[in-house]
Structure 1
Amino acid sequence: MTRHFTVLTAGVVAVGAQSFLLAPLLPDLTASLVATPSEIGRALAAYGVGVVLVALLLGPRLDRIPRATALTAGAVVLAVSSAISALAPNWEVLAAAQVLAGAAAGVVLPATYAFAAELAAPGEQARATGRVLTGWSVALVAGVPVSTLLADLVGWRGVLGALAVLAAAQVVLYRTLPASAVPSTPRPRIAAALRIPGVARLLLGTLAFMSAFYAVFGFAGAEIRLLHGGGAAGAGLLALAYGIGFGLGAATDRYAGRIGLAPVLAALAGVYLVLAATVGVLAVLLGAAVVWGLVNHVALTLLVSRLSAAAPDARGAVLALNSAATYGGAAVAGLLAGPLYEAAGLGWVAVAGAVVVAVAVPVTRSRAAQPVSIGA
């Protein structure tokens, strides 16, 4: 069983490394592809478009496909998209490849979270969810800093090529997972999943949470390089600090059932204000990023585990909607944060993130999703 969770976590690492890598390499991409930060921001947003399209078109079908089969197919697409990204001659091709990468993530992530919940012992679903979510921490602590260091040595194209190899290796690992039962209940529709009590509110929380995260994280690396220098490796320090905090947040997983989501989001809004105030002092900014990662781990675990528990026989569909909300937030951030960053800098982007998260607090204070049967 431990081996299965390790494979699932490794898949999150592969998706996370691909998802986060482009942000700290933004200056390299703009120079190499002769593009503006806003254009690269649109390429980042294209990733979210791919996730949303897959969630809406394939989300209802994920519960009718064996989890290992869905994961394997997603890893194949991720490998192909990384290879295309590595060869992109301009930002438009990069954006198209990111749509494909987003489509892969739109399959891999909900299938991973659903599989983790199904493999968990009764009453341990939240802890199992937190366990696979540590893959994001590994991607940030190890994958992104190492990748940015390699980018200084072999360029961003070489790094994306290496990620294609990593995704291909994940295809082999997924083939070692056990076969999962396909539910016999009718395939749930998107509208039916949205009507599950509390799901819509949690999805709005995810949308706000992720819009703020991608808006700030997407341009933080560029701001560090602008103000403090250090090349791509210097920008990777923020990812490292955030990843350390995200990993530390795993210590709270056993208490997930007793933590309120609204207070955590309120605390997160405060963290964004601190980030806004410390942009000019690198050491303090990195310390704030550790706290940022910790609070984000808690919030993400609560959101995913509560959505996963909402309807066991429609888990894939609900978590696909979560992926749509997640990368819908990334798309919104990519489209709107770029112009704000160019006009006012990272500090005001972080303030905007605080406002967005704060708006979600009263929404998520309402009753969370309760388990129901779609087939009932």
Structure 2
Amino acid sequence: MIVAQTLAGAAAGLALPSVYSLAAQIAPEGKESRTLGTVLTGWALSPVAGVTISALIADLAGWCAVYVTLIATSLMTTLGLRKLARAEDPKTARAATSPIRALAIPGILPALASGTAALLLTVCPIWGAANHLALNLLIGNLTALDPARRGAVMGLNSFVTYAAMFAGTAAYKPIFETAGFAPLAGLSALSILAALVLALRWTAPQKTA
């Protein structure tokens, strides 16, 4: 089970950037951003719907039925992808290259929300560590509120998390299509600032009469 899920995760990690590339490639000229926004909306919707439907299938038919459903949908996706026309444009039908070499493409570094690769590689691990630490602290605080109902609390946390992914992506789509990535970064920073203020108020010691 562990090996199979590892392979599935690796395949998903390889497929996701390919989907982004394919979406921009098959999009009508001038509508690449709109098409990519639609793909991102579908990606955000799938965890919300997938988790809910999988839980329902597991309750009705057992957890094995969930994997059978995943196999069926994966085969349908594979058949659908095989029907897509392959790129004939020599500008897009190039040999695969590595992400490291792709950093040499003019204009790619500013597009990655940094001006230098060194700064990008420094900030990303710090950001990831802070995000992971905050997530652990949040889950720890939630489970400590009522240990007897820890499962229900975690269920609510999962629902809010996936709903926020869907709502955030859907709200960001029109902004991305009209103004690009920069306003999204600013809105995300404001959202994080609001979360920080709420977290500080939550953890502040309460005054006693």
For Structure 1 versus Structure 2, the TM-score category normalised by the shorter chain is 0.5 to 0.7
> Partner of 2:206 in structure 1?
none
Aligned mates of 1:278, 1:168 — CA distance in 2: 49
Helix, strand or coil for the counterpart of 2:180?
helix
1:191–1:246 distance in 2 versus 1, CA, 3 Å: closer
SS at 1:168 equivalent: helix
Give the 3 Å change call, closer, same or farther, for CA 144–186 of structure 1 in structure 2: closer
1:237 aligns with 2:156: no
User: Partner residue of 2:8?
Assistant: 101
TM-score, normalization by structure 1: 0.39
Match of 1:178 in 2: 85
CA distance in structure 2 between the aligned counterparts of 1:127 and 1:213, rounded to whole angstroms? 31
Is 1:251 matched with 2:174?
yes
Query: What residue in structure 2 maps to residue 114 of structure 1?
Result: 21
Do the aligned residues in 1 keep the contact of 2:40 with 2:169 (CA within 8 Å)?
no
* TM-score, normalising length: structure 2: 0.64
Shift of 1:134: 0.8
Once the 2 structures are TM-superposed, how far is the Cα of residue 228 of structure 1 from its aligned partner? 5.9
User: Counterpart of 1:273 in structure 2: which amino acid?
Assistant: L
Native 8 Å contact 1:221 1:238 kept in 2: no
Identity %: 31
Per-residue deviation, 1:220: 5.0
Inter-partner Cα distance in structure 2 for 1:164 and 1:277: 45
2:43 maps to what in 1?
Answer: 136
Equivalent of residue 270 in structure 1, options 181, 193, 202: 193
Paired amino acid for 1:104: A
- Is 1:216 the counterpart of 2:135? The answer is yes
Task: Give, in whole Å, the separation in 2 of the partners of 1:146 and 1:222.
Answer: 28
Distance 1:184 1:172, change over 3 A: closer
| 8 A Cα contact 1:127 1:256, kept in partner | no
Task: Give per-residue Cα distances to partners, 1:320-372, cap 9 Å, x unaligned.
Answer: xxxxxxxxxxxxxxxxxxxxxxxxxxx9xxxxxxxxxxxxxxxxxxxxxxxxx
Whether the aligned pair in 2 keeps the contact of 1:152 and 1:233 (CA below 8 Å) is no
Please tell me the residue identity of whatever aligns with 1:246: T
Query: How far apart are the structure 2 equivalents of 1:278 and 1:141?
Result: 30
Let me know the Cα RMSD of the aligned residues. 4.1
Deviations 1:174-205 (A, max 9, x none): 12212223646565444321233515466777
1:52 maps to none
Checking the alignment, whether the CA contact within 8 Å between 1:149 and 1:233 is kept in structure 2 is: no
Please list every run of 5 or more consecutive structure 1 residues that lacks an aligned counterpart in the other structure: 1-87, 89-93, 280-346, 348-376
Task: Work out which of the two has the higher radius of gyration on C-alpha atoms and give 1 or 2.
Answer: 2
* Kept in 1: contact 2:47–2:162 (CA 8 A): yes
Aligned ranges 1:1-376 → 2 under 5 Å: 88=1, 94=2, 96-181=3-88, 183=92, 188-196=97-105, 197=107, 198=109, 199=112, 200=117, 212=131, 216=135, 223=142, 229-230=151-152, 234=156, 236-242=158-164, 243-257=166-180, 259-260=182-183, 262-270=185-193, 272-273=195-196, 276=199
Cα distance in 1 for partners of 2:7, 2:198 equals: 32
Counterparts of 1:186 and 1:176, CA distance in 2: 21
Distance change (3 Å), C-alpha of 1:155 and 1:232: farther
Shift of 1:130: 1.2
Q: Deviations over 1:72-100 (max 9, x none)?
A: xxxxxxxxxxxxxxxx3xxxxx2x22321
Return the alpha-carbon distance in structure 1 between the equivalents of residues 83 and 133 of structure 2.
33
1:117, distance to aligned residue in structure 2 (A): 1.0
Counterpart residue identity of residue 251, structure 1: P
Name stretches of at least 5 consecutive residues in structure 2 with no aligned partner. Answer: 204-209
Say whether the 8 Å CA contact 1:141–1:240 is kept in structure 2.
Answer: yes
Comparing 99-108 with 249-258, greater Cα deviation is found at 249-258
**Cα distance between partner residues in 2 of 1:203 and 1:261:** 21
Cα drift, residue 277 of structure 1: 6.3
